[in-house]
Amino acid sequence: MEENKHKRRVHYSGKYPKKFEEKYKELNPEKYAEIVEHVTQKGSTPAGMHISIMVQEILDFLQIKPGQQGLDCTLGYGGHTRKMLEKLEGKGCIYGLDIDPIESKKTVERIRNAGFDEEIFKFKLINFANIDEVAKQAGKFDFVLADLGVSSMQIDNPERGFSYKIDGPLDLRLDPTHGQSAAERLQSITENEFIGMMIDNSDEPYAEEIAGKVFRLMKKGEKIETTTALRNAIELALYKLPKDEKEQAVKKSCARVFQALRIDVNSEFEVLYSFLEKLPNILNPGGRVAILTFHSGEDRLVKKSFKQLAKDGVYSEVSSDVIRPSAEECRINPRSKSTKMRWAIKA
């Protein structure tokens, strides 16, 4: 039998690695904790990791007690879940949900290695739109958390296609094993549908110009199948803007267009509608729910639902205003700046 030969790490040019796969120290936080700390203190997120947002504010509101049953609707990197599990002090249970088969597998392994077994932490590969199915098996919950943001390890991995800043396939699916990728979605819709998508999902002011350029390019036979191809199309669409405005305008439009496509391919608004509708029925009386949102469309839906259900007497109390991360948290983790937290308590 041939022996497994040791593979040398791929060398990178320059003082620091730039590509995701070259950042071998950041990608091994257990082994290189000092590098992770250094990167974090600079205000960056280490490759392959996710810095959980507003952890203390969430814990302060949820008031978790040993013996309770909780639900983390969006497991992600597992940072919130770990802190909530610690509050149970070995008594009770938390269910964690996620639809990303790639990252959730790594997260569950980390949580198990931290000492949380199947008795106290249960994982389900399921969309949080289906919380009613989870409750049928688990029973009702005393506390629920839904962090609606995309995790940093998904954004930073070029193979997932979430970022316009790095080249990769134009995918944007949270579960890359199901549904259409963003590239396939562009091939299946009309120009007017793309305009509507950008306006509805991200308030893109240059929606018509961008859609026009993208569809003219595709009509000529050019393929918009990578993140770079879409970014280039957006740059071409905005070429008439004044030079001193163009760079920032392109960056902002890229962020909005990628957001609009991501929301569409993952049916994020439909998922959130379903979740908010089913949420009261899975909470015990006095049960608490905290939701983190990252753009105005999400926040509007949560605010409207909480306000109406409080008026109907379903919730005894809801947050009167959004809670935002502290200035210090925004400094350490710039990706937290757009976060809004709202909460509700079941009557």
Q: Tell me: the pLDDT tens digits for 153-166?
A: 677 778 888 888 88
Asked whether residue 179 is assigned to any structural domain, the reply reads yes
Residues 146 and 284 in one domain: yes
What is the token pair recorded at 206?
């240059």
For the chain, what percentages of helix, strand and coil (3-state, to nearest 5) are there? 50, 15, 40
pLDDT digits (tens, 9 = 90+) for 9-19: 555 555 555 55
Per-residue confidence (pLDDT) for residue 26, from 0 to 100: 47
pLDDT of residue 16: 56
Residues 28 and 61 in one domain: no
Q: Are residues 186 and 211 in the same domain?
A: yes
Q: Please report the pLDDT score of residue 51 as a whole number.
A: 80
Tell how many helices (H) and how many strands (E) occur in the chain: 14, 7
Residue 47, in any domain of the structure:
no
Average per-residue pLDDT for the chain: 88
Sheet order of strands, 315-318 included: 121-125, 93-98, 69-72, 141-147, 283-293, 340-346, 315-318
Same domain for 180 and 256, yes or no, is yes
299-315: pLDDT as tens digits: 999 999 999 999 999 99
303 and 226 in a single domain? The answer is no
How many other C-beta atoms can be found within 10 angstroms of the C-beta atom of residue 243?
6
Domain ranges, residue 184? 175-265
Q: What is the pLDDT of residue 332?
A: 85
DSSP string, 60-119: HHH---TT-EEEES--TTSHHHHHHHHHHTTSSEEEEEES-HHHHHHHHHHHHHTT--TT
pLDDT value of residue 302: 97
In a domain, 160, yes or no: no
Q: Is the pLDDT of residue 29 over 50?
A: yes
Residue whose C-alpha is closest to residue 109's, from 75, 86, 136: 75
How many domains in the chain? 3
212 versus 162: which is more confidently predicted? 212
- 253 and 287 fall within a common domain: no
Q: Domain boundary residue among 216, 247, 265? A: 265
| Same-domain pairing of 190 and 247 | yes
User: Are residue 249 and residue 282 in the same domain, yes or no?
Assistant: no
Kindly state whether residue 281 falls inside one of the protein's structural domains.
yes
Task: Answer for the pair 320, 266: CB distance below 8 angstroms, yes or no.
Answer: no
SS3 22: helix
**pLDDT computed for residue 28 by the predictor:** 53
- Residue at 219 is within a domain: yes
Does residue 3 belong to any structural domain of this protein? no
Q: What does the pLDDT average to over 241-263? A: 94
Res. 7: pLDDT tops 60 = no
Same domain, 115 and 129: yes
Given the structure tokens 């106290």, which residue do they identify? 120
Q: How far apart, in whole angstroms, are the C-alpha atoms of residue 175 and residue 141? A: 26
279 and 143 housed in the same domain: yes
What is the reported pLDDT for 1?
A: 44
What confidence score (pLDDT) does residue 52 get?
86
Whether residue 237 is contained in a domain is answered as yes
Q: What is the pTM of this model?
A: 0.83
41-50, 56-65, 193-202, 224-233 — which is least confidently predicted? 41-50
